[in-house]
Amino acid sequence: MTFENLEIIEPILKALKEEGYTHPTPVQEQSIPIILKRNDIIGCAQTGTGKTAAFAIPILQILKAESNTVRNARSIRNLILTPTRELAIQIGESFSAYGKYTGLKHTVIFGGVTQYSQTEALKAGVDILIATPGRLLDLISQKFIHLHNLKIFVLDEADRMLDMGFIHDVKKVIAQIPKKRQTLLFSATMPPEIVKLADTILIDPIMIAVTPVSSTVDVIDQAIYFVDKKDKNALLSHILKDKSVLSALVFTRTKHGADKVVRYLEKEHISAEAIHGNKSQNARQRALTNFKAKKTRVLVATDIAARGIDIDELSHVINYEIPNIPETYVHRIGRTGRAGLSGIALSFCDEEEKEFLRDIQRLISMKIPIMDEHPFPLIAGQHELVIEKRSSARNRNNNQGSLRRDKPYRKNYTTYK
């Protein structure tokens, strides 16, 4: 399958070639034809699967075709609602890349900064608006934004909107957009409240689901370090002494844990910054920018903060703690090995985390190689890691909900085959 097979128009094909995209990813292959046919869609897909392009490419194509036939003044015809500033900026960058030969204009608005440059861009006229909910409502009430010409509405990371307490704002936005429209909803998980919302805002949606599991895991070199909890910091700095670790995204379970790791690394003269929910938007964005620009070598993150962050050319993911939800492991390590590049994922496992590791190995159907030549080995019980037949640790520990796989969540929705 190529983008030509998907009947993508020349100005977009040219831009995709320049981006180095040769083949559509599975989520793109599934979504693009459905969106071009103007169907509503529910996409169960994580960042890292190519989901942004899966909606950006057909939206650009639809709006371009419409601009060619109807020559009105520019107005907002597509609204993309996304939970965080980081995601909004990344989506904006994708539109800049894929849409550069289409003549369509987009802008990105989010809170935490002054509104002046945003309102100036809006006054100049845009076709596509990428927004976080709070600032959007604010600028609508100030009459800088009019959505009466809206044709396509995208609700991105719907479950995360819910997590972050934005669902009320989302509903307020939906109340202000035309009822006759195409709606695309993307969500990694489908908690009941999102199912309810989907029922009210979509019409005969087609459901597509991509499992990130085996595809991402295959290209990543993984290793386990059995280590005592108290030795994890020392092991981390030992690993980071190796200059071939060009950039590392380190995952901790808690915000407090992330800060502690950063403080330790700073003492060891290793440049590191933390990114988590207690940091301001500006601090998070700065940490991310420094990391992407390779000014900081190590970014320490919690799962929620790191979700949706797109970092090209990340050499290493380090699980300072093993996640208790096996799918989280897959999402974490999928940060490296992006778009066909190989990557390395190292996991520190202490005695108490061995049960989480068993669950992960069951999920990915493979044994992760053990790295036993390191200065801080965990002596007791290192080699007892056998797949046990007993109630899984996941069932006992999973109180965060888990990823839905490839099943439609409601039988009367059409499912992509």
Point out which residues bind ligand AMP (CB under 6 A). 21, 23-25, 28, 47-53, 310, 312, 338-339
**Of the two residues 317 and 349, which places its CB atom closer to ligand AMP in the complex?**
317
CA distance linking residue 295 with residue 288, whole number of Å: 10
Q: How many residues does the chain have?
A: 417
Minimum distance of ligand AMP from residue 178's CB (angstroms): 27
**Of the two residues 22 and 117, which places its CB atom closer to ligand AMP in the complex?**
22
Minimum distance of ligand AMP from residue 390's CB (angstroms): 36
**Of the two residues 91 and 363, which places its CB atom closer to ligand AMP in the complex?**
91
Residue found by looking up tokens 């290493």 in the block: 316
Closest by CA to 352, choosing from 378, 327, 377, is 378
**Of the two residues 284 and 338, which places its CB atom closer to ligand AMP in the complex?**
338
What letter represents residue 230's amino acid?
Answer: K
**Of the two residues 24 and 133, which places its CB atom closer to ligand AMP in the complex?**
24
Closest by CA to 87, choosing from 305, 327, 341, is 305
**Of the two residues 8 and 190, which places its CB atom closer to ligand AMP in the complex?**
8
Residue 319's DSSP bridge partners are 251, 347
Minimum distance of ligand AMP from residue 366's CB (angstroms): 23
**Of the two residues 257 and 308, which places its CB atom closer to ligand AMP in the complex?**
308
Minimum distance of ligand AMP from residue 49's CB (angstroms): 5
Q: With 0-12 CB in 10 A as exposed, 13-18 as middle and 19+ as buried, what is 242? A: exposed
369 and 223 Cβ atoms separated by less than 8 Å:
yes
Minimum distance of ligand AMP from residue 108's CB (angstroms): 15
CA 219 to centroid of chain Cα atoms: 19
Minimum distance of ligand AMP from residue 380's CB (angstroms): 41
**Of the two residues 13 and 364, which places its CB atom closer to ligand AMP in the complex?**
13
CA distance linking residue 27 with residue 15, whole number of Å: 19
**Of the two residues 186 and 348, which places its CB atom closer to ligand AMP in the complex?**
186
- List CB contacts of 137: < 8 A, sequence separation 6 or more: 169, 172, 173
Alpha helices of 100-249 — where are they, by DSSP H?
A: 116-124, 133-141, 158-163, 167-175, 192-201, 213-218, 232-240
- Stretch (H or E) spanning 283: helix 281-292
**Of the two residues 203 and 339, which places its CB atom closer to ligand AMP in the complex?**
339
Minimum distance of ligand AMP from residue 186's CB (angstroms): 10
414-to-199, 407, 411 alpha-carbon distances in Å: 13, 11, 8
Residue 364 has phi, psi (to 5 degrees) of -90, 0
Minimum distance of ligand AMP from residue 92's CB (angstroms): 12
Minimum distance of ligand AMP from residue 97's CB (angstroms): 8
CA distance linking residue 351 with residue 227, whole number of Å: 8
Residue found by looking up tokens 């977009």 in the block: 12
Residue 152 gets the label, from left (phi > 0), alpha (psi -120 to 50) or beta, of beta
Minimum distance of ligand AMP from residue 340's CB (angstroms): 7
